[in-house]
Amino acid sequence: MELLMSILIGLMFAAAVYLILSKSLLRIIIGTAILSHGVNLFVLTMGGIKRGNVPILGLKATSLYNDPLPQALILTAIVISFGVTAFFLVLAYRAYQELDSESISKTRGHEADDE
Amino acid sequence: MMNNIVLTPILIPFLFAIFLMLLPKKIILQRIVALTGSLILIVAAGFLVFYVRTNGITTVNVSNWKAPFGITIVGDMFASLLVLTTSIILSCVIVYSFYSIGKAREKFLYYPAVLFMIVGVNGSFLTGDIFNLFVFFEVMLMASYVLLVIGGTKIQLKATIKYLLINVVGSGFFVVAIGMLYSMIGTLNMADISQKIDALHGQNTGMLSVVAVLFLFVFGLKAGLFPLYFWLPGSYFAPPIPVLALFGGLLTKVGVYAIIRTFSLFFTKETTFVMPLLGILALITIVLGVIGAISYYDLKTIVIYNILIAIGVILFSISIMSRESVMGAVYYLIHDMLIKAVLFLIVGIIMAITGTSSVKKFSGLMTEKPGLGWTFFIAILALAGIPPLSGFFGKLLIVESAFSAHEIVGGILILISSLFVLMSLIKVFTRGFWGEKSGTFTLTIPYRKMMLPVVILLSLSVLYGLFSNAVFPFIEDAVNPIIDPTVYIDAVIKE
């Protein structure tokens, strides 16, 4: 199971890197979203995928529970990346309004050439 | 009960930031409350330093869960000193912001964003949990995105897109690194990780090296280490000066702190591969920083490349990992935080007077503002490391330890780099301040009020150099847990 997940996560990372290296800003943001999905699945996989019960104490487990810690970590990471992605999308929208383009090449140049 | 003092550097800015979010349009109130908060923070941080000095490393287990199971906040001397430095810089930058940031920005939650960034910075310094470190990094970064883009000019939008993208990728890899470490070790508490890595007795070293390099990648990205510094000159060029002073003084240094903390605790046995790698990358960073610093005629860009040089110097001395070199690194780190903030604030005043950041477009500023000229001159000498000033002792220790560790090339490179640091800024001084008066000077700015925080910070930096004997016991306290992780582990995990 871990092997299958690893291959899947590898594919997601590859897709994310490909999208982040593209020209359009929206593709880049989709790339970062896929990257964060890959990262979250990675943490889940690295915690170990075992056939235990869901980590709720009320359910009397016949044998063992699954590791609750990676699930808590992922929950935190999801919320953070949600916040960052929302900010990034609005930033892209503002940049589209100001720079009249959603191509990343429009963000070139840092000297005071546009003040 | 008393050890709850460790939490105050995180809680004070947090509570003040929340309060300030309620009344965003009342600028006067915002200013007063933000300044009060930062002054209280200085008192709390100063008290923390002396508390740690008398009682040793102070820890708080949040909610009273025993050490490896809950989140532990660890106040050792290294973190406490950095927290104190951070809060001093914060107060000075807040006072400077009154006169330079502009009402439009102040109305849109500028002060809360600054305070939230300090929550993240102080939290990163004090946390004892690797995932908690990630969360505090995100708090700091999120606030820094806001500070970078606030005002919404074109150049800021451009820079923020790049900065945000870089940091999203960096954060993703941070979580990956934590996941890998968790799968090997099975714990997140830094002291516990250190203990369990020690208990591996050389098994799994291949994986450990991989994790070490991943951490180096993540923190090197934040710190601006070669080859991951490419985002820094462009991004730091965009924001207004007080924000830039905060970024230049604090953000990259948090990356450096994280490298020192993780490498001293987790990867002490990885001396064959990871430490030499860090040393080589740091030396290349110095060289590239020097090339950038001497090739530009733009004030801001010159100081920005000087950040890279300092990062290289500190990380090189960390890669040696002897007692002396770490002392030099800690001393130099605090000096550099102060002096970079001073330099950016001075650059801001020069830009406010001349209306340009290009040193080719004005000269003879000395006839108008001699005080500014001499302040700038002292700051340059302190940065380059002229003996009575603060830059000297750190570099002396670093160079000495480099030679005694037979790192001849590194030691000589650091000495030569000081020469170029001096040259890059003396160029600004001679071209801009000496010579015939040329260029247009606006003298209507609130010059004295803007100089106040600069003078305070600079005199602190000078005193830091003059009274280095008084400071060194604190630095020694700070170095103990870095050199000997068992000190740190024993303080966190009590039987």
Which among B155, B172, B237 is the nearest to A36, CB-wise?
Answer: B172
What's the pLDDT score for residue B495?
57
C-beta atoms of B164 and A91 within 8 A: yes
Q: Which residues pair with B72 in a beta bridge?
A: B61
**Number of domains present in the structure of chain A:** 1
Cα distances (Å, whole numbers) of residue B385 to B28, B181, B416, B426, B462: 40, 40, 12, 13, 11
Residue with tokens 């477009």: B361
User: At B112, is the pLDDT very low, low, confident or very high (cuts 50, 70, 90)?
Assistant: very high
DSSP one-letter code for A55: S
Q: How confident is the model at residue B232 (pLDDT cuts 50, 70, 90)?
A: very high
Nearest to A20 among B134, B169, B238 (CB): B169
Neighbours of A114 (CB within 10 A): 11
Residue B350: which domain range?
Answer: 4-492
Average pLDDT, chain B: 91
Secondary structure (3-state) at B407: coil
- Give the integer Cα–Cα distance in Å for B456 and B92: 8
- Calculated CA dihedral for residues B35, B37, B39, B42, nearest 10 degrees: -140
Q: What is the largest CA-CA distance in chain B?
A: 71
Matching residue, tokens 């001397």: B77
CB B267 within 8 A of CB B274: yes
Residue of A nearest to B139 (CA): A80
Domain with residue A40: its CATH number is 1.10.287
pLDDT of residue A62: 67
For residue B158, list chain A residues with Cβ-Cβ distance below 8 A: 95, 99, 106-110
Chains A and B: how many Cβ contacts under 8 Å? 108
CA-based torsion, B295, B307, B417, B422: positive or negative: positive
Residue contact A47–B182, C-beta within 8 A: yes
Integer Cα distance of B180 and B267 in angstroms = 14
Structure tokens at A5: 């997940």
Domain presence at residue A24: yes
- Chain B residues with CB inside 8 Å of A46's CB? 179-180, 182-183
The verdict on A79 touching B (C-beta cutoff 8 Å) is no
**Is A92 close to B161, i.e. CB distance below 8 A?**
yes
Structure confidence by residue, pLDDT tens digits, B162-210:
999 999 999 999 999 999 999 988 899 999 999 888 888 767 678 888 8
- Residue partners of B227: CB distance under 8 A and separation at least 6: B281, B284
Please state, in angstroms and rounded to a whole number, the distance separating the CA atoms of residues B236 and B384: 22
Q: Which residues fall within 8 angstroms of residue B411, CB to CB, at 6 or more apart?
A: B399, B402, B403
Q: From the list B142, B152, B179, which residue is nearest A84 (CB)? A: B142
Task: Give the model confidence (pLDDT) of B432-477 as tens digits.
Answer: 888 888 888 877 788 888 889 999 999 999 999 999 889 999 999 8
Beta bridge partners of A103: A24
Task: Decide if A42 and B178 are in contact by the 8 Å CB cutoff.
Answer: no
Cα–Cα distance for residue pair A46/B56, rounded to 1 Å: 37
Q: State how far the alpha carbon of B418 is from the alpha carbons of B98, B122, B208, B364, B380, in Å.
A: 34, 30, 35, 26, 11
Radius of gyration of chain A from Cα atoms? 20
Question: What DSSP character marks residue A67?
Answer: P
**Residue with token string 């990471």:** A77
Does the pLDDT at position A67 exceed 50? Answer: yes
Other CB atoms within a 10 A radius of the CB of residue B119 amount to 22
Q: Taking phi first (over 0 means left), then psi (-120 to 50 degrees means alpha), and beta for anything else, what does residue B437 get?
A: beta
Determine, yes or no, domain membership for A110. Answer: no
**Separation in Å, CA of A62 to nearest CA in chain B:** 24
CB contact under 8 Å between A115 and B179, yes or no, is no
**A115 pLDDT above the threshold of 90:** no
Lookup: tokens for B184? 């090997």
Q: Spell out which residues of chain B touch residue A98, defining contact as CB-CB under 8 Å.
A: 152, 154, 157
Whole-prediction pTM: 0.94
- Quick one: pLDDT at residue B147? 94
Domain with A77 in it: 1-51+64-104
* CA–CA gap between residue A76 and residue A98 (Å, rounded): 33
Report residue B207 as tokens.
């994986």
For residues A67 and B183, give the distance between their C-alpha atoms in angstroms, rounded to a whole number: 11
| Bridge partners of residue A82, in order along the sequence | none
Position B66 pLDDT exceeds 80: yes
Q: Is B341 helix (H, G, I), strand (E, B) or coil?
A: helix
| Reported confidence tier of residue A61, pLDDT bands at 50, 70, 90 | low
Number of domains in chain B: 1
Q: Is the interface score ipTM higher than 0.90?
A: yes
H or E segment at B75? strand B72-75
* Chain centre to alpha carbon of residue B280: 21
CA dihedral B324, B246, B309, B373 (to 10 degrees): -100
Q: What is the pLDDT of residues B315-337, one digit of tens each?
A: 999 998 888 999 999 999 999 99
pLDDT at residue A5, as a whole number: 93
Are B153 and A92 a contacting pair at CB < 8 A? no
B444: helix, strand or coil: coil
Distance from CA of B244 to the nearest CA of A (A): 15
